[in-house]
Amino acid sequence: MVLTGFCFVAVNILVKALGGGIPAGEAAFLRYIIGILLLLPLMLREPLRVSRTQMRVFAIRGVFQAAGVVFWFYAMTRISLAEVQVLNYLSPVYITIGAALFLGERFSWIRGLAILAALVGVILILRPGIRPIDPGHIAMLATALCFAGSYLMAKSLSGGASPTLVVIMLSLWTGLFLAPVALIEWVWPSMAQLGVLALVAAAATAGHFTMTLAFRSAPISVTQPLVFLQLVWATLAGWYLFDEKVDSYVIGGGTIIIAAVVTISIREARTRRQRSQKDTSPS
């Protein structure tokens, strides 16, 4: 999880370093095209046997993911690394609400309190009425919502498709939906910009891989609190590399959001463990 944090913060740093030299939609498209090339060896080995229903879900997930990535790339050009990092933590909160509304999962009072705490954290970060809200803040709120929708789609697919197939189809459909967005404002990237995007794709892929290893090796109550380190590193990187001010309100609000996410994650892990014990107990 420590390595995962380094990888994901590195992704944010690299995208931030690109600045506005490449339109957000094009940068997102090129990132996924490079990602598809990295996944090519797996695609050649994995049989693409997909039902019509699964393909529809894959396509809908591609819409959510494509929109979220565009919003995210745009937000990077507008707000600080720390703000991007903490507002992206809202995805698990959105997922909890969506799972209750669309997947029929129980909504406990602990989850409700955690969601309210996360809302307090967001208000602390944005401080509406005290300072102007940047379009980048709105973009990150939309990013977290889109990524939550993408995750819920993945969750509905997890029982009938292999993890490799899910990742491959995500990259293919996201790249497809990003293509027209990229062509609207196409700017030919330099070799240096393509190199940065290649590093983005590699760091993101490595981050997902190390996160999967962490989830296999330790319970979520151990791994999830380490997410807080990403906020620390993002704040330090923004201050050192991009001369961004360390905002105590962002740190405070981010801490509250992370505490809410950790509470939700540990609660869900405990619920799954209890269900598993109940299913395996002799009747």
In which band, very low, low, confident or very high, does the pLDDT at 280 lie, cut at 50, 70 and 90?
Answer: low
In angstroms, the Cα distances linking 111 to 98, 206, 264, 266, 280 are 12, 31, 6, 10, 26
pLDDT of residue 231: 80
Residue 165 has pLDDT above 80, yes or no: no
Single-letter code of the amino acid located at 263:
T
Q: Count CB neighbours of 139 within 10 A.
A: 23
CB proximity list for 5: less than 8 A, separation 6 or greater = 226, 227, 229, 230, 233
Chain centre to alpha carbon of residue 193? 22
Residue 68 has pLDDT above 70, yes or no: yes
Q: Is the residue at 283 inside a domain?
A: no
d(CA 35, CA 204): 9
What letter does residue 225 receive in the DSSP assignment? G
pLDDT per position as a tens digit, 262-274: 887 777 777 767 6
What letter does residue 68 receive in the DSSP assignment? H
- What is the total count of domains within the chain? 1
pLDDT of residue 199: 92
Sign of the four-CA dihedral 237, 238, 239, 241? positive
Residue 282 has pLDDT above 60, yes or no: no
Query: What stretches of 116-168 adopt beta strand conformation (E)?
Result: none
Q: Is the residue at 210 inside a domain?
A: yes
Q: Is the residue at 109 inside a domain?
A: yes
User: Is residue 234 within 8 Å of 84, Cβ to Cβ?
Assistant: yes
pLDDT of residue 180: 93
In which band, very low, low, confident or very high, does the pLDDT at 121 lie, cut at 50, 70 and 90?
Answer: confident
The residue-averaged pLDDT of 75-97 equals: 85
Residue 4 has pLDDT above 90, yes or no: no
- Which one has a higher pLDDT value, 45 or 280? 45
User: Is residue 72 within 8 Å of 139, Cβ to Cβ?
Assistant: yes
pLDDT of residue 64: 93
Q: Is the residue at 165 inside a domain?
A: yes
In which band, very low, low, confident or very high, does the pLDDT at 246 lie, cut at 50, 70 and 90?
Answer: confident
Angle, CA of 251, 133 and 136, to the nearest 5°: 80
Domain coverage including residue 161? 2-278
Q: Is the residue at 145 inside a domain?
A: yes
Angle, CA of 17, 20 and 23, to the nearest 5°: 120
Q: Is the residue at 180 inside a domain?
A: yes
pLDDT per position as a tens digit, 8-44: 899 889 988 887 788 888 988 988 888 888 878 877 7
Q: Dmax over Cα atoms in the chain, in whole Å? A: 65
